[in-house]
């Protein structure tokens, strides 16, 4: 089990069931510099034909917070602010990658 991500098998099942094809931690938990109260920053990509609707994202965030007992920031790669993109990409800790190609 990943110490930075408690309940990892359940978290990954939740993401896969929501048609997420890529998931990675970023920020303090990815760097191993987190405190007990630190939130979880997750970068995700959906399968090409899956909808990344507001309702899907909000539901996933709620379910992840329930599993992790901490706040979760859920961001898609397309939703990254250009000024933050490189810093996020440099700190990624990939949880799984099922993207094609």
CATH code of 68's domain? 3.30.460.10
Residue 14 domain flag: yes
Q: How many domains does the chain have?
A: 1
Residue 101 domain flag: no
The answer on pLDDT for 1 being more than 60 is no
CA dist 76 and 21 (Å) reads 11
Residues 6+ apart with CB under 8 A from 67: 7, 10, 11, 14
The answer on pLDDT for 77 being more than 70 is yes
Q: What is the arithmetic mean of pLDDT over 25-43?
A: 93
Which of residues 42 and 6 earns the better pLDDT score? 42
Q: What is the arithmetic mean of pLDDT over 9-33?
A: 94
pLDDT at site 41: 95
Residue 18 domain flag: yes
Structural domain span for residue 13: 6-95
List Cα–Cα distances, 27 to 34, 42, 72, 99, in angstroms: 9, 9, 12, 22
Residue 100 domain flag: no
pLDDT at site 19: 95
């Amino acid at each position: 089990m990943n110490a930075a991500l408690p309940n990892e098998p359940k978290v990954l099942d939740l993401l896969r069931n929501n048609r997420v094809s890529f998931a990675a931690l970023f920020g303090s938990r990815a760097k191993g510099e987190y405190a007990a109260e630190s939130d979880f920053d997750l970068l995700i990509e959906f399968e090409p034909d899956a909808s990344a609707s507001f309702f899907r994202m909000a539901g996933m965030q709620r379910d992840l917070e329930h599993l992790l007992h901490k706040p979760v920031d859920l961001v898609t790669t397309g939703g990254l602010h250009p000024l933050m993109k490189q810093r996020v990409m440099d700190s990624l800790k990939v949880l799984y990658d099922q993207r094609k190609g």
